Amino acid sequence: MASTIPLPRQQRLLQLLRLAEGELSAQELHQRLRDAQQGTGLATVYRGLKLLQQAGLVRCRKLSNGETVYAPLERDEHHLICVQCGSSQPLPLCPLGTSSLGLNAVLLQGFRPLFHTFEIHGLCSRCQQVEVGLDG
């Protein structure tokens, strides 16, 4: 196997993600490396993130504004996402429980799962109020 032991550059990315409060975008990671005098090309950050993803160490999701945010695989978080304003708040619920239940080999058909995304899209309470306000 080639990519099971990430190189030091990628270890640093993983460390930053684990230290971070929430999810970080590639550009935020790039900035944090810069702040720590560990300048790195943005392309390298993207390359490292892709490898970490394929190694099963990092997961990601795409925000509605187009940017991708990354987090350690072990942090199993999901969100309520507003289709109006794009804000997202934590959703303390995972459809797979802790175990990867329900994912029997029959369904996967040779596919090797690494991580999952589960998000509920709708209207946040603030955007619902605005909507009502326009009517009255």
Partner DNA sequence: CCCAAGAGTGAGAATGGTTGTCGTTCTAGC
Partner DNA sequence: GCTAGAACGACAACCATTCTCACTCTTGGG
Interface residues with a copy of itself (CB under 8 A) are: 1-2, 50, 53-54, 59, 62, 64, 66, 80, 82-84, 89, 91-93, 95-96, 102-103, 107-125, 128, 131, 134-135
Query: Whole-angstrom Cα distance, residue 75 to residue 15?
Result: 13
Using CB under 5 A as the binding rule, the residues of this chain from 56 to 115 that contact Zn ion are 82, 84-85
What minimum distance in Å lies between the beta carbon of 100 and a copy of itself? Answer: 9
Q: How is residue 63 annotated by DSSP?
A: -
Would you say 4 or 37 has its CB closer to a copy of itself? Answer: 4
Q: Angle at Cα 33 formed by Cα 32 and Cα 36, nearest 5°? A: 90
Would you say 35 or 134 has its CB closer to a copy of itself? Answer: 134
Q: How is residue 78 annotated by DSSP?
A: E
Q: Which does 76 bind (CB under 5 to 8 A by kind): DNA, Mn ion, a copy of itself, none?
A: Mn ion
Which residue matches tokens 């998000």?
119
Instruction: State yes or no: residue 131 binds DNA (CB under 7 A).
Output: no
Query: Whole-angstrom Cα distance, residue 111 to residue 4?
Result: 18
With contact defined as beta carbons under 8 Å apart, do 33 and 16 qualify? yes
Would you say 44 or 87 has its CB closer to a copy of itself? Answer: 87
